Amino acid sequence: MGTENGAIVKANVSPTESLLQSKRDSIAAVATSGVDVDRLIKQAAIAAIETPQLGNCDRSSLVLAVARVCELGLDLSKTLGQAYLIPYGNKATLIIGYKGLIELAYRSGRVKMIDAREVRDGDTFSWTGGTSPSVNHEPAPLGKRGDLIGVYCIIDMADGARKVEVMDKNEVEAIRRRSRSGNSGPWQTDYARMATKTVIRRACQQLPLSPQLKKAMEYDGDRLDGTAVVEKPRPSLADKLAGRDAGSEATETPADQTDHDFGDDPLAGSSPNVDDSELHI
């Protein structure tokens, strides 16, 4: 520890961690029950070290992204793959991983099983839709599976209903090209995972969305359809953390024409109040 202008400064603390720790109480105020806020702050700081451009992003966008991870109760570790922070221009952007969507769907209590898989060249694959959808997928022998040619998702609901979504690679590519993060981040480093996430997200749109899953799909910086359509909300703490007014983004806007398309909180007002002076950066 040392001192700087009379203030105590912890050794080996990155600027990103210092920023987030200075907003810790406000971030914790929006966190879902059981979230380890300090652990997520550490994970965000590590992400900024691994991707230096993230640490140079707009401060408010970084605080907002971390606050939303805490609000959803997801994890930023690469091992779990639930959520990622990536720079988009000068904004820190929250990308929800496919495992994050699955986690939130299971938490709702309405989903019994989710199975999402890649289809590769050499596999045997067929499916039927209608009122009793089914999938028949026989992967090629190990070592003989080729390039990814499609993805599918099966969701069995607690009430006995089944949802099936199938997308070929051309459909996935159309989504990637419209995505604001299609040429960076996980789309470049983990293409198969992002393709899988795309079909899961499309399948989830058929479900009665829980509040957290709905928020995740609105907050996700990697839009499925390239647009953000949200209702005008009341101010939430997450919005206040970024120092912005609720409803400032409540329009339908192509994702490739905006530099700050995080979505808004439709359940705003449910969090405890925090003094505005603690929230502005």
**For residues 8 and 221, which has the higher predicted lDDT (pLDDT)?**
221
Whether residue 128 lies inside any domain: the answer is yes
Please write the tens of the pLDDT for every residue from 120-166: 999 999 999 888 999 999 999 999 999 999 999 999 999 999 999 99
Please write the tens of the pLDDT for every residue from 28-86: 999 999 999 999 999 999 999 999 999 999 999 999 999 999 999 999 998 898 999 99
| pLDDT value, residue 248 | 43
Whether residue 216 lies inside any domain: the answer is yes
| pLDDT value, residue 126 | 96
What is the pTM for the complete model shown? 0.70
Whether residue 70 lies inside any domain: the answer is yes
Whether residue 5 lies inside any domain: the answer is no
Section 203-211 average pLDDT:
86
Please write the tens of the pLDDT for every residue from 235-276: 445 554 555 544 444 333 333 333 322 233 322 333 333 233
Whether residue 3 lies inside any domain: the answer is no
Whether residue 180 lies inside any domain: the answer is yes
Please write the tens of the pLDDT for every residue from 164-178: 999 999 999 999 988
Whether residue 193 lies inside any domain: the answer is yes
Return contacts of 24-27, CB within 8 angstroms, 24+ apart: 25/274, 25/278, 26/67, 26/237, 26/240, 26/241, 26/274, 26/278, 26/279, 27/63, 27/66, 27/67, 27/70, 27/241
| pLDDT value, residue 243 | 54
Q: What total of structural domains would you count in the chain?
A: 1
Whether residue 145 lies inside any domain: the answer is yes
Query: What is the extent of the structural domain holding 261?
Result: 12-278
| pLDDT value, residue 111 | 93
Cα–Cα distance for residue pair 29/71, rounded to 1 Å: 9
